Amino acid sequence: MVTEPVMEDPTPYNPLAKKNLAASIISRLLCQKPWEMPPPKFAGAGVYLIYYTGGFEAYEPLSRANRNGRFAQPIYVGKAVPAGARKGGEGLDTPHGEALYKRLCKHSESLKSARNLAVTDFKCRWLVVDEVFITLGETMLISHFKPLWNLVVEGFGNNPPGGGRAKGKKPMWDIIHPGRAWAEELSAAMSSETVLSLIARHFDNVRVPPGKFEV
């Protein structure tokens, strides 16, 4: 019996294509050691993943994917860019400072404030990345992992509202994880039961953990 040769993709491989660049970022990030929150101080800007392993019932699919050292499904994906990069005033090669470390510290304070979460149930991975590729990496990580706190339970990374927004709506994250002082003053646009139902629907429709990153 003659076996037909497998035809290769005729499209030339472009190592600088966005998906291929993102794949290299993701591969390197997933090789990093998971650290407690907040992690030890370090310098740089880049991308990061936050994992949950605790007992909050609605998050059981995540906890199951991350226990026993697997850390297969982040609950949140984020980025930290150098301060000057936001306005473009520094051009390329903006000094990174401690942008990524400070961002993770801010998240740690939010977790400590929540009355039904424990910061010890969270771990983080991060990768210091050239600022040109930070947003690309974050976008592809969110697309691949579809993390709960990015796509459904929004508001974890929010800053306290300024004076003009002080009467805004309470973020969904604070509806089910009360404790941040600035959010206690805001009114909820939905009930905690509604948020929990959205979480359950998310896990019905999203594979946890996802398969291999495809380019």
Distance (Å, rounded) from C-alpha 133 to C-alpha 153?
26
Distance between CA 215 and CA 213 in Å, rounded? 7
- How many helices and strands (H and E) does the chain possess? 8, 6
Q: What distance, in Å, lies between the first and last C-alpha atoms of the chain?
A: 34
d(CA 45, CA 34) in angstroms, rounded, equals: 17
Residue 63 identity (one-letter amino acid): S
What was the pLDDT predicted at 61? Answer: 97
Rounded to two decimals, the pTM is 0.88
Please give the pLDDT value at position 114: 98
Tell me what the mean pLDDT of segment 54-71 comes to: 96
**pLDDT above 70 for 5:** no
3-state SS class at 79: strand
Rg (CA), the chain: 19
Nearest CA to 197 out of 144, 150, 153, 151 is that of 153
Contact 199, 61 (CB under 8 A): no
CA distance 179 to 164: 22
98: pLDDT strictly greater than 70: yes
Q: How far apart are CA 215 and CA 9, in angstroms?
A: 13
Model confidence band, residue 15 (pLDDT cutoffs 50, 70, 90): confident
Mean pLDDT for the stretch of residues 176-192 = 95
Q: In whole angstroms, what is the distance from residue 56 CA to residue 96 CA?
A: 35
Q: Distance between CA 211 and CA 146 in Å, rounded?
A: 12
Say how far apart CA 104 and CA 166 lie, in whole Å: 25
Q: Tell whether the model's pLDDT for residue 95 goes beyond 80.
A: no
